[in-house]
Amino acid sequence: MKSNLAVLKYGGSSVSSFDKIKDIATYVKTRVDEQEKLVIVVSAMGDTTDILLNNIQQLNKNPDDEHVALLLSTGEQQSISYLAMALADLGIKAKPLTGAQATIKTTAQTMKSRISSIDEDYLNGLLEVNDVLIVAGFQGMNEYKQITTLGRGGSDTTATALAAVLECHCEIYTDVAGIFSIDPRIYPDAKKIDMISYEEMMEMSFLGANIIETRSIKIAINNNVPLYIAKALSKEKGTWIVSEKKLLEKNIATGIAVDDEVIQVDINHPGYSSELVTDVFTLLEKNDISIDLISQIEDEGKNHYSFTTKSEDKNRLTKCAMALQEKYPDIEISLNEDYVKVSIIGAGMMEAPGVISKIYKTIIENNMRIYQISTSGISISCLVDEVNGGTIARLLSKEFDL
Amino acid sequence: MKSNLAVLKYGGSSVSSFDKIKDIATYVKTRVDEQEKLVIVVSAMGDTTDILLNNIQQLNKNPDDEHVALLLSTGEQQSISYLAMALADLGIKAKPLTGAQATIKTTAQTMKSRISSIDEDYLNGLLEVNDVLIVAGFQGMNEYKQITTLGRGGSDTTATALAAVLECHCEIYTDVAGIFSIDPRIYPDAKKIDMISYEEMMEMSFLGANIIETRSIKIAINNNVPLYIAKALSKEKGTWIVSEKKLLEKNIATGIAVDDEVIQVDINHPGYSSELVTDVFTLLEKNDISIDLISQIEDEGKNHYSFTTKSEDKNRLTKCAMALQEKYPDIEISLNEDYVKVSIIGAGMMEAPGVISKIYKTIIENNMRIYQISTSGISISCLVDEVNGGTIARLLSKEFDL
């Protein structure tokens, strides 16, 4: 891990005006003055991407991915040009690079593409003759010389992948001040976490705390890249996301996440059928529907399954339900959207006794119900009534001192 | 010359709105429906380039060329994306290409760069699997993988160079309906020219009729590319610019150009000095000042030179004058900006007798003066009082039936 090199990523809201771009340049200068070399990844300015997407609607309701990626990539190309100009104005030698110029090779698809390689020797060579490299986030080039975009959270992916190949840490600047133990909108007394493990952060991301995409965290885990999440242009300390080994003491509970984008599926079949189980889960898999919080009850020769899926899968789920209903006329399938999933995350949770009973006690003593519960190595998730989600999250935050 | 392939170029005012882009797509479809393959070169939409240049002022008053070129090139990249979407919406298979993607390699400088090569095999391969290629005008990539821009009139250069390597003609669509024998603002009865030779057009361009840059015409001459200039989205016939051989009959006079961006320099030295001549013209050459309409009088041992230069050279010219004054204290140098240059262009002019006398007669009979006169193979230029420029142009238009 190099100590005089860092990747810094600024999201769209951090570069939404020329004044903000100048402020970032001023901050970058203080770092360069301390003999650091920097790679800065920027997103498109403010709502540029939304404006471009809206323009497309005037020309084509169902545009080709190649055309869309080519258009959207201009947003970041403009940002890197502007930041380079602002840095040059302060006497900093900065080299702006599009994804293609930064040698970011991706898989073939032009939208939601994945990074396949970066030529670190080329970038290290550029770092020898420049103070700062400015790389357009969210984009790359595929083997067909098409400009590609990386999909949601793509600039975070660019930044983390660059830190991985350049062997340095990655600072992600955003409009929130770091990772909180629980969404401050739900629980205003939420504490900021100084340091969290990759695994805990993965659970937090999966479970609805969308501060950084899981894709970036996976790259960080695989390449042992320390991530730092903080508020852009603020002196407030952010959150480090590091390997578990670096955490001196594992937290019992690090955070709470509330996910209201869940559908509970309940399948009831009066007679036992071994074929049914296979049919249900093969059908879901074929339709790319991922399953969470699964419960299975087999009694008196009945089949009864409950599981949760994501709200975004609803259309495909409805089709699956209809197909099953046709094959098994006696089956009862219900989709319930009135639940939320409340999860407590903590790397030390499974090693600390009595956590589950504490959760049950807190919820039941307050006259609320848990419909399903599931445990993983570092988290416990409960399905509860949507109306109670906030209250339960607050009660558990207090109970676990978050 | 391929007959089922053409390069079409649309300038910024032709693609200034999404409606215009849709109209171009509709027109292109009519051509594709007739089994033509097309390469379309587009500029940035409307005033996009001016807006981007203005944005730069907020960040850096003296920006790096590399940063500016990187920013400006996004304008054309957006245009090609939008046109590709509009064509796809009509079922046309169109492939958008940035300058770099179109294999347009340029010289090293990032602004005012020159095209050094285009890989025609690659483009011909793309034309086999696409109906239309859409190429971003005004840009390319240099050997250092920097995005470069071609400078003024750059999209015309892109279009003509593509037509040259693909061996087809080039149609340049603009907001004027073709080449007129004289600027219609000076002479409202000006006739549109159906066909003009490259050489005549070169003279027209040099002499101030800025419809197409001389750079594009030079490429057309060297590669024998027929050019067609017409109004975008209009049924009105435009002007073909072709080699002289294709003109069945040479015109005595094809057009008249008025150039008011001239300075006349008058140098008078009382005693003869052979060194002075060399000094004057070496100094001008060193300062990159080009000379036109030169007259020299040597009598009674005096040196007297008059010549014209461009108004844009005034600052450098003034410095030269000061240097000469210092070396030759007796010299008298005057710069006069109250003249304009009126030129008659016609490939057959030198072969038709009495043209010069007709010009002299027309001007002198109307009580106006010619200060200097100069003839080239296909043009005659006169330096006249600025106030008389328009009148003389109109009189000569009538006299030569333009």
Work out the angle at residue B100's Cα, subtended by the Cα atoms of residues B94 and B105, and round it to the nearest 5 degrees: 125
**Burial class of B353 by CB neighbour count within 10 A (0 to 12, 13 to 18, 19+):** exposed
User: A29, A83, A85, A101: best mutation site toward chain B, by most B Cβ within 10 Å?
Assistant: A85
Kindly list the residues from chain A whose CB atom is less than 8 angstroms away from the CB atom of residue B85.
Answer: 56, 59-60, 63-64, 67-68, 71
User: In chain B, which residue's Cα lies nearest the Cα of A61?
Assistant: B89
Q: Look up residue A122 and give its amino acid.
A: Y
User: B60, B90, B105, B147: best mutation site toward chain A, by most A Cβ within 10 Å?
Assistant: B60
User: B23, B53, B56, B59: best mutation site toward chain A, by most A Cβ within 10 Å?
Assistant: B59
Kindly list the residues from chain B whose CB atom is less than 8 angstroms away from the CB atom of residue A17.
Answer: none
How far does A232 lie from chain B, in Å, by closest CA? 19
Answer yes or no: is A334 within a domain. Answer: no
**Burial class of A235 by CB neighbour count within 10 A (0 to 12, 13 to 18, 19+):** exposed
CA–CA dist B125, B152 (Å, integer)? 30
Of residues A18, A66, A77, nearest to B59 (C-beta): A18
Of residues A60, A61, A74, nearest to B78 (C-beta): A74
Q: For residue A165, what are its two tokens?
A: 């190949």
CA–CA dist B190, A62 (Å, integer)? 47
Asked if residues A24 and A54 have their Cβ atoms less than 8 Å apart, the reply is no
CA–CA dist B360, B363 (Å, integer)? 5
Instruction: State ipTM.
Output: 0.78
User: In chain A, which residue's Cα lies nearest the Cα of B103?
Assistant: A145
Parallel/antiparallel/unpaired status of strands A132-136 and A37-42: parallel
How far does B294 lie from chain A, in Å, by closest CA? 45
CA–CA dist A35, A23 (Å, integer)? 19
Would you state the pLDDT for residue B241? Answer: 93
Kindly list the residues from chain A whose CB atom is less than 8 angstroms away from the CB atom of residue B99.
Answer: none
pLDDT greater than 70 at residue B248: no
Answer yes or no: is A293 within a domain. Answer: no
> Residue B263: which pLDDT band, with cuts at 50, 70 and 90?
very high
Do residue B60 and residue A85 have CB atoms under 8 angstroms apart? yes
Would you state the pLDDT for residue B206? Answer: 66
Per-residue pLDDT of chain A (402 residues), as tens digits, is 788 999 999 998 999 999 999 999 999 999 999 999 999 999 999 999 999 999 999 999 999 999 999 999 999 999 999 999 999 999 999 999 999 999 999 999 999 999 999 999 999 999 999 999 999 999 999 999 999 999 767 899 999 999 999 999 999 999 888 888 887 777 788 888 889 988 888 888 766 666 788 889 889 999 999 999 999 999 999 999 998 777 666 667 888 888 888 999 998 888 777 778 788 888 888 888 888 888 777 666 677 888 899 888 888 899 999 999 998 888 899 999 999 999 888 877 766 777 888 888 888 889 998 888 887 778 888 999 999 998 999 999 888 887
Answer yes or no: is B99 within a domain. Answer: yes
Kindly list the residues from chain A whose CB atom is less than 8 angstroms away from the CB atom of residue B145.
Answer: 101
Would you state the pLDDT for residue B141? Answer: 97
User: A20, A65, A70, A145: best mutation site toward chain B, by most B Cβ within 10 Å?
Assistant: A70
Asked if residues B345 and B256 have their Cβ atoms less than 8 Å apart, the reply is yes
CA–CA dist B77, B43 (Å, integer)? 9
> What is the DSSP secondary structure assignment for residue A400, as one 8-state letter?
T
> What is the DSSP secondary structure assignment for residue B180, as one 8-state letter?
B
Answer yes or no: is B161 within a domain. Answer: yes
> For chain B, what is the domain count?
1
CA–CA dist B269, B279 (Å, integer)? 13
Q: Which helix (H) or strand (E) holds B196?
A: strand B195-197
How far does B81 lie from chain A, in Å, by closest CA? 5
Asked if residues A254 and A349 have their Cβ atoms less than 8 Å apart, the reply is no
Answer yes or no: is B372 within a domain. Answer: no
Answer yes or no: is B322 within a domain. Answer: no
Which strands make up the sheet holding B262-269, listed edge to edge? B292-297, B303-310, B262-269, B332-336
Do residue B147 and residue A98 have CB atoms under 8 angstroms apart? yes
Kindly list the residues from chain A whose CB atom is less than 8 angstroms away from the CB atom of residue B147.
Answer: 98, 101
Of residues A56, A84, A98, nearest to B85 (C-beta): A56
> Residue B78: which pLDDT band, with cuts at 50, 70 and 90?
very high
Of residues B22, B60, B89, nearest to A89 (C-beta): B60
Would you state the pLDDT for residue A297? Answer: 73
> What is the DSSP secondary structure assignment for residue A138, as one 8-state letter?
T
Asked if residues A253 and A295 have their Cβ atoms less than 8 Å apart, the reply is no
Whose tokens are 């885990």? That residue is: A221
CA–CA dist A45, B77 (Å, integer)? 17
Of residues A59, A86, A146, nearest to B18 (C-beta): A59
CATH number at residue A57: 3.40.1160.10
How far does B279 lie from chain A, in Å, by closest CA? 41
Answer yes or no: is A385 within a domain. Answer: no
Whose tokens are 């041992």? That residue is: B301
User: In chain A, which residue's Cα lies nearest the Cα of B94?
Assistant: A67
Of residues A18, A67, A81, nearest to B85 (C-beta): A67
Do residue A77 and residue B55 have CB atoms under 8 angstroms apart? no
How far does B252 lie from chain A, in Å, by closest CA? 49
Asked if residues A83 and A24 have their Cβ atoms less than 8 Å apart, the reply is yes
User: In chain A, which residue's Cα lies nearest the Cα of B64?
Assistant: A85
Whose tokens are 């840009």? That residue is: B139
pLDDT tens digits for B161-196? 999 999 999 999 998 888 888 877 777 888 888 899
How far does A178 lie from chain B, in Å, by closest CA? 29
Do residue A64 and residue B73 have CB atoms under 8 angstroms apart? no
Kindly list the residues from chain B whose CB atom is less than 8 angstroms away from the CB atom of residue A89.
Answer: 59-61
Q: How many CB atoms lie within 10 A of CB B385?
A: 15
CA–CA dist B189, B201 (Å, integer)? 20
Do residue B59 and residue A82 have CB atoms under 8 angstroms apart? yes
Give the range of the structural domain holding residue B160, as residue numbers without chain letter. 5-175
Asked if residues B41 and A41 have their Cβ atoms less than 8 Å apart, the reply is no
CA–CA dist B47, B67 (Å, integer)? 19
Kindly list the residues from chain B whose CB atom is less than 8 angstroms away from the CB atom of residue A100.
Answer: 100
pLDDT tens digits for B200-241? 888 887 666 667 888 898 899 999 999 999 999 999 999 999
Of residues B63, B80, B98, nearest to A85 (C-beta): B63
Residue A292: C-alpha distances to residues A318, A373, A375 (Å): 17, 10, 11
Asked if residues B321 and B335 have their Cβ atoms less than 8 Å apart, the reply is yes
Would you state the pLDDT for residue B151? Answer: 76
pLDDT tens digits for B329-352? 888 999 999 999 998 888 777 766
Of residues B21, B64, B81, nearest to A71 (C-beta): B81
Asked if residues B170 and B163 have their Cβ atoms less than 8 Å apart, the reply is yes
Kindly list the residues from chain B whose CB atom is less than 8 angstroms away from the CB atom of residue A146.
Answer: 101
Do residue B60 and residue A88 have CB atoms under 8 angstroms apart? yes
Between helices A214-223 and A154-166, what is the axis angle to 10°?
10
Do residue B70 and residue A77 have CB atoms under 8 angstroms apart? yes
How far does A19 lie from chain B, in Å, by closest CA? 9
CA–CA dist A85, B365 (Å, integer)? 60
Size of interface A-B (CB pairs under 8 A): 105
Asked if residues A194 and A239 have their Cβ atoms less than 8 Å apart, the reply is yes
Of residues B60, B74, B85, nearest to A59 (C-beta): B85
Query: Which range has the worst mean pLDDT, A257-266, B13-22, B50-59?
Result: A257-266
Kindly list the residues from chain A whose CB atom is less than 8 angstroms away from the CB atom of residue B89.
Answer: 59-61
Answer yes or no: is B31 within a domain. Answer: yes
Kindly list the residues from chain B whose CB atom is less than 8 angstroms away from the CB atom of residue A74.
Answer: 74, 77-78, 81
Query: Which range has the worst mean pLDDT, A135-144, B18-27, B62-71, B263-272?
Result: B263-272
The pTM assigned to this predicted structure is 0.80
Kindly list the residues from chain B whose CB atom is less than 8 angstroms away from the CB atom of residue A134.
Answer: none
Of residues A63, A82, A88, nearest to B64 (C-beta): A88
Asked if residues A199 and A349 have their Cβ atoms less than 8 Å apart, the reply is no
How far does B21 lie from chain A, in Å, by closest CA? 9
